Amino acid sequence: MPEILVLAEHDRGTLDGATLEALTFARTLGSDIAVLVCGDFDLAAQLGEYGATKVYVAEHDLLDSDFGPEAWGQTLAALIEDSQPDIVIACGTSKGNEVMAQAAARLDVPFVANCLQVEADAEEMTRVQWGGSLLERSTLDAEVKLISLSHHSIDALAADAGSPEVETFEPELAESLSRTVVVGREMAEAGVTLATAPVVVGGGRATGGPDGFAPLEELAALLGGRVGCSRAVTNNGWRPHSDQVGQTGTRIAPELYIASGISGAIQHWVGAMASKNILAINTDPDANMVVKADYAVIGDMHEIIPAVVEEVKRRRG
């Protein structure tokens, strides 16, 4: 059985759920699973619950304050050299892929991003291209195999596992790597975000302009959700880019995505396809979004969304 090393993604000690997907995936390849935590944070219990048998806590001044892609990448590279795992896995989030790329660059080894399926020896795999609308079968020839799991492609499942052994790892990091450690944050108003909203109400070109989103805003507010939009909308300047659902926008995974007046081009679909349920509202019964959705209503969103808002209000009295 291969020895596996998993990268824990966390925000100053708060574990990202994506790491649990990576651990769940790692268990399909082996049972000897170590996890790297960058910084002096106690995540062993949570990681053990999902199958970690060992946790390396990397301690260094550069790792204790905040995220830094180069400091994390160098730490991962150092631990790979030190512990000689066969396979290294991260979840293919923005930071997961970046830290893996940093480590791979430092070790001058290949890195295969966003895999959906990996053979037991990790010498062959299926990975995502075009955000998921195309797949690539690929070979990996390397002493140590660095791969990331396509985010949202599996559900995290807890394991029957005991408490992992915890070991301190002290990497040698050049002080110069402080150059890419986070120095501050600018956060929007608190509340539900597009990436975490349980309901997303999306609008496309058919909204006709910024004002066309008012009924969508009202419905989203009633359902405790957020408004999203297609690339056509942000390219027209009707909504900020932070509202864009898509390959180059936000990947969403809500309980329900209501796609109104959205045709479902590849760019948009790959950002929405991880939604648990999709309801398409469209005048065109042959639109890609209608064909691929779980539920569909044929008709004009300008009439239907306000009617839904009224019905929700009526039932709530």
CA distances (Å), origin 47, targets 7, 8, 130, 148, 168 = 11, 9, 31, 18, 16
**φ, ψ for residue 250 (rounded to 5)?**
-95, 135
Question: Which residue among 14, 137, 160, 175 contacts another protein (CB under 8 A)?
Answer: 137
Residue with tokens 């995290």: 156
Give me the least distance between CB of 34 and another protein, in Å please: 23
All residues at 6 or more sequence positions from 266 whose CB lies less than 8 Å from its CB, including other chains: 130, 131, 133, 247
Which of 82/124 has CB closer to another protein? 124
User: In this structure, what token pair is assigned to residue 169?
Assistant: 């790892």
Residues of span 1-30 touching another protein by CB under 8 A: none
Counting residues that bind another protein (by CB under 8 A) gives 99
Report which residue type is found at 272.
A
Residues of span 107-126 touching another protein by CB under 8 A: 108-114, 124, 126
Question: Which residue among 265, 271, 272, 282 contacts another protein (CB under 8 A)?
Answer: 265
Which among 103, 82, 106, 84 is positioned nearest to 148, based on CA atoms? 103
Which of 120/174 has CB closer to another protein? 174
Which of 32/65 has CB closer to another protein? 65
Give me the least distance between CB of 149 and another protein, in Å please: 13
Give me the least distance between CB of 172 and another protein, in Å please: 17
All residues at 6 or more sequence positions from 191 whose CB lies less than 8 Å from its CB, including other chains: none
Question: Which residue among 81, 82, 105, 165 contacts another protein (CB under 8 A)?
Answer: 105
Compute the Cα dihedral for 15, 4, 118, 101 and give only its sign.
Answer: positive
Candidate segments 27-35, 43-51, 203-211, 223-231, binder of another protein by CB under 8 A: 223-231
Residues of span 176-215 touching another protein by CB under 8 A: 179-188, 193, 195-196, 198-199
Which of 205/231 has CB closer to another protein? 231
CA distances (Å), origin 181, targets 7, 64, 168, 207, 233 = 18, 10, 22, 41, 34
Candidate segments 25-33, 49-57, 129-137, 164-172, binder of another protein by CB under 8 A: 129-137
